[in-house]
Chains A and B, each alone.
Chain A
Amino acid sequence: MSCSRMESKILGFVDGRLKEGERLEMEKHLSACAACQLRVNQFRAVNSLLDELPMIEPSLAFDVRVQARVAAEPVKQSWWAWFTPSPRVALAASMLLLATVWLGSRPPDSPLSADDIENINQNMPVLENYDVISDFGPLSELPQPVQAEDNNDANQNQNQIQN
């Protein structure tokens, strides 16, 4: 390995990120090259110096500020959300469906009781006669009944006929 090829591998060698084969190749080169050995030592020193910088802690209010900014974000709704029913609408729709099914499965309401129907069956001949009489044509040809005030005139006419 030449010194120029070291450039891409020296840092990986310093922080132990090289593959086994590359590491062995580097070690072989370093054993024969004092300049590269010095560079490796200096990079190790830089690496170690960088460790001396302290960490800082975020302020106590940091989380609160982030959460507040997140809470202030407008609720984003896609056009697809329009198709998604709200819980209230879904509840109302299901109640309506249940009511429809229940009403559809009920037997039809009848205004007549069983006794009424029995009574009708027994009186059926009379009712049939009533139907015939109520629609009996010759009866419609009879004169209309006269009023009470006209009774005198009718009696006079009768007397004239008898005389």
Chain B
Amino acid sequence: MLDVKAGDEQSFALLLHRYRSPLVNFLYRMVRNREQAEDLAQEVFLRVYRAREEYVPSAKFTTWLFRIATNLALNSVRDNRYQRMEISLDAPVTVDAEDGEEKMLDVAEKHPNIEQHLVEDARRKMIRRAIDKLPEKQRAAVLLHKYQELDYGEISKILNCSESALKSLLFRAYEALRVELAPLVAQHGKVG
């Protein structure tokens, strides 16, 4: 990032290459819409570029990056929630296009057995819905902890809370997931 600050355009391209996938995945799991996740990720990179001259390496670059991403995602989730409330409640229920996309990408080739395919697809949907049901801040904490593997110190800076508050937040999130995923957790216990 310091090279980007010094005006090295190639270093920005390297940053983009290094962080685009983690960012898009984090944002996708936060907002549950691929197109919106990519738009938000673009916005994150643009903000990084705009702020390059003021950048001070007082914290890890990933902390700064995911703090921008988390703030954008939380705002977007809140905006979407209000938009959804405005949509008529009797709108027809449609199949989630994002589910279909993931199915095609990851499952079809690996599992030729259709029954197994359907079971795994149902498991994934259940896990996704359990994550979606978490309050936004808990969801962000779980995603940063589980998928970005950031330490407690970094996550607490990103979410602007103390480490003990973060631990409590994560415990409540895992408790909610444990309850929501109880059938799968029980299966897992039997298999384990």
Contact of B127 among A43, A50, A65, A70 (CB under 8 A): A50
The residue in chain B whose Cβ has the minimal distance to the Cβ of A8 is B167
Q: How far is the CB of A53 from chain B (nearest CB, A)?
A: 6
Q: Does B41 touch A at the CB level, under 8 Å?
A: yes
Give Cα A100 to B19, complex, Å.
55
Give Cα A53 to B145, complex, Å.
15
Number of A interface residues at 8 Å Cβ cutoff, please give it.
Answer: 34
B160-177: contact bitstring with A at CB < 8 Å (1 yes, 0 no)? Answer: 000010011011001001
Task: Say what secondary structure dominates the interface of chain A.
Answer: helix
| B residues 7-64 touching A (CB-CB < 8 Å) | 12-13, 16-17, 20-21, 24-25, 28-29, 34, 38, 41-42, 45-46, 49-50, 53
Number of B interface residues at 8 Å Cβ cutoff, please give it.
Answer: 49
Task: Say what secondary structure dominates the interface of chain B.
Answer: helix
Contact A17 B151 (CB under 8 A): yes
Of the candidate stretches A56-64, A90-98, A125-133, A142-150, the one touching chain B is: A56-64
Contact A62 B50 (CB under 8 A): no
The residue in chain A whose Cβ has the minimal distance to the Cβ of B106 is A54
Q: How far is the CB of A18 from chain B (nearest CB, A)?
A: 11
Give Cα A42 to B12, complex, Å.
42
| Given A54-B106, A58-B21, A62-B38, CB of A45 within 8 Å of CB of B45 | no
A interface, CB within 8 angstroms of B: 7-12, 15, 17, 41-43, 45-50, 52-59, 62-63, 65-67, 69-70, 73, 76
